[in-house]
Each structure stands twice: as C-alpha cells, then as structure tokens.
A and B are shown apart, each in its own frame.
Chain A
Amino acid sequence: MVLTWRAVVLTALGIVPVLLSGDLGMVLVWTVAVAVVAGGDALLAASPRLLAIQRTVPRTVRLTERAQSVLVVTNESRRTVTGLVRDAWVPSAGALANRHRVSIPPGESRRLTTELVPTRRGDRRADRVTVRTLGPLGVAGRQASIPVPGVLRVLPEFAARKHLPSRLARLRELDGQAAVQIRGEGTEFDSLREYVIGDDVRSIDWRASARRTEMVVRTWRPERDRRVLIVVDTARTSAARIGDEPRLDASIEAALLLGALAAKAGDRVELIAFDRTLRARVAGAAGPRLLPALADAMAPLEPALLETDWPALVGLVRERLSQRALVVLLSTAEPAALETGLLPVVEQLSSVHQVVLASVADPDEAELAAQRETASEVFDAAAAARTELERIAATMVLSRRGVEVVSALPDDLAPRLADMYLSLKAAGRL
C-alpha cells in the first residue's frame, strides 16, 4: 500500500475539526477516518500484478549511442489502471527519464519508451519494473515490483575508428591498386596483364610474352590471407586504471582497429581473451561479420584479479595456429609481470610466429619522472626512472627474441599498433 499527497492533505484538513473541538478524541476519529479512506482506496485500486508487461530492448548498442527500452503494458484486470510505471535499469545503463504516468482502461495496452544512454561497456541489465496503481480517489494505491528481464549489450565505443581511413589509404598504397609492380618482400604474385607504356620493363614476363602476341607484365600485391591472432590479456594488469579507464579498454580499442584493418587487408583475424581461462573467442568470422563479432565478444570482458597463466596461453595459441601467423599480445610491458610471466615462454611463440606485444603506457609515470620540487618527489622520480630502466631491459630481452614491442599512451595505442601491423606487412614479416 502506498499513500499520495492527497492523503497528506486529507490529514492536514483534520486540523480544522480538531481546532474547533479542541479534543484529543477528534484526533483519533480523524485518524480512523483517514485510515478507512486510504485503505478503501487501496482496495479499490487495480492489482499491479494483473498487468502483462512486455519488454523489447535492442540486443546491442555502441557506447555513447542511444537505445530504447520499450515496455508494452497490457491491462488484464477489470479496473482501469491509473498510476506510475518505473522501468528500472542499473545506473550505468543511463535510464534517466524512466518514470511513466499511465492510465490504461481494461483490456488496453500502452507503449512506454525509456531512453537509455549507457555510460559503461558491457552487459547492462534491466532491473524490476515497478507498477504503482492508485485508487479512484487517488489517496492511496498499491505497488509491486515485477522482474522483467532484459539485457542490453553495450559495445565498445571504438573511438579509434577515426584512424581507420588513413591506415586504409596506407594499405592501398601497399596494395596493388596503387600500381605496385616491384617485386619485393611482403608481396606475392597477383596476375599477368598487358604491357602499357610506362610500366617497368623489369616486370615484363618474357616467358608469358613469348606465348602471346603482346607483351605481358607481372603484377604483385601484398601478401594476403595471412593469419592474425589477437590475444587480449584480461588479467590483473589490465585492471589498472590509466586516466579514466582501465588498460583493458585501450586494449579493446586497439584490437578493434587492428581487426578492422587486417580484415580489409584480406588477412584472417582471430581473437582470444585470456587470463587463466578463455574469456572470449572469435574465430572464422570474415568480411563484414568480423567487426561486429569482435565487438560483441569483447563487450562483456571485465578485468579479472588474477595473474595471467602465460604457459597455458602459449599452449592455447600453439594449438590454434598451425602455420606462421602474427600474434598480437595486448598486455602490458610491466617489468615484474613480464619477467615472471611472458619472458620464460615467449621463445616458444616467437620461434614460430611473429609476436607483437602492445602495451598501454601510463602518462602518470612520465609526470612522476619529471618532478623535482621536493626530496620526496625526487624519490618518486627515481622510482619512475628505475621502473623505466627495467622496462627498457625487459623490452630489449623481448626484442632479442624477435618480439616487437609497441608501448603507447591509451589514445595512441590503437593507431601505433595499426602502423606496426602495416610496417610488418610491408616488410613481409607476416
């Protein structure tokens, strides 16, 4: 049972007879009267449990975009439903105007739309739908909270997509569309075509020309159909916050950009997210289905407070890949974690595959290293310098084992990784 402001007004009106009689008995009489009116009104209200509530919610929405949760409320009772309906979501789903005033005659339906502006990536769940129905006098009513399940998957923002056009242009320069007739590393034979004036005479295929009447040149194009395996590390180090968001989010952005680029370049992209167990996997998706699959798989990822099981991860990668591939580890170049985790097992990967370690750097560390005001700040700077030296040492060990290391600030990681991919492709090292 709920009371409304009318019940308060009704109680307040009681002051007049109480003042006139000046008797405590009148207070009692008025209390009983208010209770009877409110109780009767609540009894006459329609039951909120006699409503059929249908929730329709889009399966996915990109972060920063809007979605709509639609409730269709059907009155299956014999009384008119008058009151409020609240469509509750978790706070990060961003359901701001989620209270709807309704008046539904028996047998009719109403459509209630709640705007959702999600503020966090992941699966955002709907909570209960609370229905408050008021009696004919509007003094009191009944209320029930009914669980109506609904999940909205908020995909990563993919802000790095603004870097995609420039990288695609670079890719086309590498590609045959920009007249590559020079044979070199990273290219493979594409096709034969008729010689036109201006073509490099060195690319004439004499044997083919001999069989025809016209001159024929060979054209080359960058390697295609290489395999790219993106490994997203969701362990403890991915939980650390850099600026406003965890490392994992920067890793996801980088993975999306690389996936989009590699798919355009004709490579086969796979993704796994791993800490001690497999958290997500995308395999076998190609063309326009790849990017949605990547986003969908990575959307619900949350950092786990565990240490990465590198030997198991290496085993998993070796199991997945039979031929040479590009393995991109989206993790961190934190010296302590590297020394105990990746370094002992990286050779098993780098001996077969091209390995890239992409790490999100922390702008705070650079700030720490530069401060000189007080002695304690200098101590912090010394600590930052020591950490940096250890990182350089670890990176050198990795480079010696054939691992490329990309370390960049969160916003730069995605384009830097894309550049690394393009340069590896141009150099034919995939």
Chain B
Amino acid sequence: MSPRDAAPDLAPPPVSPAPAPAEPRSAASSTTTTSVSAATTTVRGDGTTTASRFRARLRSWRWPAAALVATLLAGAVLVSLTTQTSTVRFAPDNPSDDGGMALAQVLGDRGVEVVHTTSVAEAIGASGPGSTLLVANDYGMAEDVARSLLETGAEVVLVAPGADLLAAATSQVTHAGTTSAGAATAQCTDPDAVAAAEITSYGSGFRLSEDSTSATLCFLQPTAAGPPVGHYAVAPLDGAADGQTVRALDDATALTNGSITETGNAALGLRMLGQTDRLVWLLPEQPPVGDEPPGLAGMLPPWAGAVGAQLLLLVLVTALWRGRRLGPLVTEDLPVVVQASEATRGRGRLYRRSRAYGHAGAALRARSADRMAQRLGVPRSAGADAVVDAVARASGRPAQQVGALLYGPPPSGDVELTRLATDLDQLESEVHRA
C-alpha cells in the first residue's frame, strides 16, 4: 500500500504560483491575482472621500434629524402657546378661585401693563413714578425691606399688609384686629369707595390712629362701641415727596377670581389698581420656615451637583469608548435545520389526536410480522396462516395465541395498545432467540 492511499489528497496538484504584478497604484483601487493554490487581492481605501462620506452620513441621518427638529419645534410652539399658570394665592397667573387672574386680565385689557414678580428687588427695579406698586400677602415683611420698597415713587396699594409694612407705609392707619366678616358699604368720601358702594371682605379691619389727620377709612364695620373699624383705608405715603398715596385693603379675598363679581368688589379693585398705565404686582415669596427638616438636596455638600455632572460626563465618555465596535458584525448564512424524523413524529401525533388505535396497532403488527417472517424465511408473498404457523413453531406458543396477537381485533385504548406493543416485542424476542 502506498502512502498516497492512506491519505488521499483533496487539494489540487501543486502548480507554481504566478508572481504578483508590480504595477503603479492609484487611490481606492483594487487588484486581484489568482493562482491555483492562493488568491491575492490588493485594496486601497474604500473609494470614498471626506465629502462623499459626509453626504452619505447626511443622507442616512436626514430623517432622524428632521424628526428631532420637528419635535423640538412642536415643543417650542406648544410651550409658547400654553400660558403658564400657577397655584399661588392671588397671583395674576392663577386661574383658580383664589387666584387673581381675572383682575389682572381685565386690567391688561384696559391698557394697564401688569408686571408680575415675586422678588422685592425686581419690584423695586420695575416700579417708579407713574406706576402702581401692589404688595399683597407679604407675610410679615421686614421693615427695612418695606421701606426701600416704598421709596420708589410709585403709588402704593397694600392688600392684606403685615403690621411692619403698614407701619412703614403710613403711621395714620393701624390694624384693628377684629373679626367681622360680610358685606360693608362705603360710608366715606373716597371716590373709589363711593364708586364701589359695597364690598365683601373677611379681613381684620383697619383703624385710624389717634394722630391721623388726612387718612380716610371706608367700608366700616358695624361695631357697637369704640373707634370705627374699616376694611379699606386711604392715606398719604409717609416721606413721599410727590404726594403719593397708600391704599390698603385688609384682605385679598374680595379681589380673587371667585369673589370679584360679587357686590362692588370689581369696581374697587379696578379703580384701586388701574390708576396708572403700569402695575407692578408683587407677591413676596414666603420666607422658609426655620425648623423645616432639610431635604436630600439640603444634606448634600455644595459641590455635589458639579461632581455629579462630571460623573455623568465620565459615564458618557466611557459609553462612547466601549460602545464603538471595531468594525461591523459579520453575519453567517445559516442552513435550514429540520430534523429528519420530524415527519414521523408528526404522523405519530396525528394518530394520537385522532385516537387511531386501529391504525397504530395494525402498523405495529405488520412490522412485527414482517420482521419475524424475514427471520424465519417465510416469503413476503405468503399468507397470514403460513406466518402464524412458522411463528408458532419457532416460539413454541399455540398457533391460536399467535394468530390472536398478530391478526386479532384492533386495540381500543391506550392500555390495550401499549400491551399489544409489549406483547409483540415479547413474541419477537422469543422467535429471535429460537
């Protein structure tokens, strides 16, 4: 035996490979040399230029980019179309019952420029001679803050002022501290109050101080004794050079959206705030309550935000580092996977579903008889009797029993079918042993 017999060679007989051509090369070119045993290809670049790659990138990104721009535009339009609202009491942008939006909008419609602010500094910057400064719900403003606020030269309207603010504005009016709610009539000479005639207020009322000379008190409470108590007071602003006045209303409820249409509330509100073309609507922010426990943000050190942002950047850079694959994935053309025995299993399942005990039993019997007949040399053309005789002789069983097993009535249930199968196995093993 030659060694070539033992290891036949599938590779073709060796042929000397052709030498690779040495030719001048241009950019993005490709040459292929094929010899019998090996193939050589040379490639230079991928035929693209910076401009073509840019165009291709633009083409592939154009729809996502367009979608992004469209989304941003739609968002911007939506934001600009929806007016910002708040839930702060008596705020000019609060449309609920306790808001002041109705009053602010009517004033705006009448040509008054309404400037809403929550910052005292901003309010000072925005107001000046020829404008009206509304300070509402000041929550006990400090006296120096109040004083600087009142020195702007604007007409001053105080709604539910704190004691310090009221004292800084005028010394002629003080808080009465009584609680009497309900409708009150003007009962004074102030033209605004006379125009309003009647208002509904739930405030604690004002009282004129003893050294009062030029202050007016309106909408008096029907008190039995003592000095009169009113819901509305008009007095000259203390220390004002140009004779500005202070108008004070003891409660904002009369001017809120829910109550503005009642009695003369609207008339008083519009006249009081609409004296000038410019209205600065100051709702000082509620100062934080001292003992409130600090939130999570309060417990973090001040540099936490910056470090967090830097860590976020780090995560982004790490993702870019790890996320860039070294070339695209390569796919494999996989062949179909069908198990050859699938058809037979399917047929078995069909038998089972249709409960074809007869068919199944017949198949098992026929296969068994065929195998035993072959073993015993009975020709395939022989009849049933010849097979039964031969099998009975070989196994030593009575012919009747063998006949019943091989050609008996079909099984009618799971148990009978299983018993038939095992009985046939038993018979076959006896025949094969013989």
- Asked if B326 and A382 make an inter-chain contact with CB atoms under 8 angstroms apart, the answer reads no
Residues of B within 8 A of A334 (CB): 343
- Asked if A379 and B41 make an inter-chain contact with CB atoms under 8 angstroms apart, the answer reads no
Residues of A within 8 A of B32 (CB): 149
Cα-based distance from A292 to B383 in the complex (angstroms): 53
B336 closest partner in A (C-beta): A239
A376 closest partner in B (C-beta): B352
A329 to chain B, nearest CB (A): 18
Cα-based distance from A8 to B414 in the complex (angstroms): 69
- Interface residues on chain A, number (Cβ under 8 Å): 107
Known: A241-B339, A372-B422. A15 touches B310 (CB 8 A): yes
Partner of A384, one of B41, B313, B344, B359: B344
- Asked if A161 and B39 make an inter-chain contact with CB atoms under 8 angstroms apart, the answer reads no
Partner of A382, one of B12, B45, B46, B363: B363
Residues of A within 8 A of B110 (CB): none
Task: Write out, one digit per residue, whether chain A residues 12-37 have a CB within 8 A of any chain B CB (1) or not (0).
Answer: 10110011011110110011001000
- Asked if B1 and A22 make an inter-chain contact with CB atoms under 8 angstroms apart, the answer reads no
- Asked if A146 and B367 make an inter-chain contact with CB atoms under 8 angstroms apart, the answer reads no
Residues of B within 8 A of A280 (CB): none
Cα-based distance from A34 to B368 in the complex (angstroms): 82
Residues of B within 8 A of A158 (CB): 8, 10
- Asked if B336 and A26 make an inter-chain contact with CB atoms under 8 angstroms apart, the answer reads no
- Asked if B303 and A130 make an inter-chain contact with CB atoms under 8 angstroms apart, the answer reads no
Residues of A within 8 A of B42 (CB): 52-55
A91 closest partner in B (C-beta): B332
A307 to chain B, nearest CB (A): 15
- Asked if B363 and A12 make an inter-chain contact with CB atoms under 8 angstroms apart, the answer reads no
A339 to chain B, nearest CB (A): 14
Cα-based distance from A190 to B392 in the complex (angstroms): 55
Residues of B within 8 A of A381 (CB): 348, 364, 421
Task: Write out, one digit per residue, whether chain B residues 208-220 have a CB within 8 A of any chain A CB (1) or not (0).
Answer: 0000000000000
Known: A89-B330, A376-B352, A379-B348. A52 touches B44 (CB 8 A): yes
Interface size classification for chain B:
35 or more
- Asked if B421 and A372 make an inter-chain contact with CB atoms under 8 angstroms apart, the answer reads yes
Residues of B within 8 A of A264 (CB): 5
- Asked if B306 and A146 make an inter-chain contact with CB atoms under 8 angstroms apart, the answer reads no
Q: Is the C-beta of A317 less than 8 angstroms from some C-beta in chain B?
A: no
- Asked if A389 and B39 make an inter-chain contact with CB atoms under 8 angstroms apart, the answer reads no
For B41, B331, B333, the residue with the greatest tally of chain A CB atoms inside 10 Å of its CB is B41
The B-contacting residues of A in range 339-364, CB under 8 angstroms, are 362, 364
Partner of B359, one of A49, A374, A382: A382
A146 to chain B, nearest CB (A): 5
Q: Is the C-beta of B327 less than 8 angstroms from some C-beta in chain A?
A: yes
B298 to chain A, nearest CB (A): 16
A89 closest partner in B (C-beta): B330
Cα-based distance from A365 to B367 in the complex (angstroms): 14
Q: Is the C-beta of B311 less than 8 angstroms from some C-beta in chain A?
A: yes
Residues of B within 8 A of A52 (CB): 25, 42-44
Known: A22-B303, A26-B306, A379-B360. A90 touches B330 (CB 8 A): yes
- Asked if B351 and A62 make an inter-chain contact with CB atoms under 8 angstroms apart, the answer reads no
Residues of A within 8 A of B8 (CB): 158, 161, 164, 260, 291
Task: Write out, one digit per residue, whether chain B residues 26-38 have a CB within 8 A of any chain A CB (1) or not (0).
Answer: 0010101011111
Known: A60-B11, A86-B327, A375-B414. A383 touches B348 (CB 8 A): yes
Q: Is the C-beta of B18 less than 8 angstroms from some C-beta in chain A?
A: no
Cα-based distance from A78 to B73 in the complex (angstroms): 46
- Asked if A389 and B318 make an inter-chain contact with CB atoms under 8 angstroms apart, the answer reads no
Cα-based distance from A168 to B8 in the complex (angstroms): 12
Given contact pairs A164-B6, A382-B421, enumerate 12 new A-B contacts (beta carbons under 8 Å). A4-B321, A14-B310, A53-B44, A54-B40, A55-B42, A56-B38, A165-B1, A372-B418, A374-B418, A382-B360, A382-B363, A383-B345
| 30 A–B contacts, CB within 8 A, in A order | A4-B321, A12-B314, A49-B48, A52-B42, A54-B41, A54-B42, A60-B10, A88-B327, A90-B330, A90-B332, A130-B327, A147-B46, A158-B8, A240-B338, A240-B339, A362-B340, A365-B340, A368-B344, A374-B418, A378-B421, A379-B417, A382-B361, A382-B417, A383-B345, A385-B363, A385-B366, A386-B359, A388-B367, A389-B363, A389-B367
Q: Taking beta carbons and an 8 Å cutoff, which residues of B are in contact with A?
A: 1, 5-13, 25, 28, 30, 32, 34-46, 48, 302-303, 305-307, 309-311, 313-314, 317-318, 320-321, 324, 326-328, 330-333, 335-345, 347-352, 359-361, 363-364, 366-368, 370, 380, 414-415, 417-418, 421-422, 425
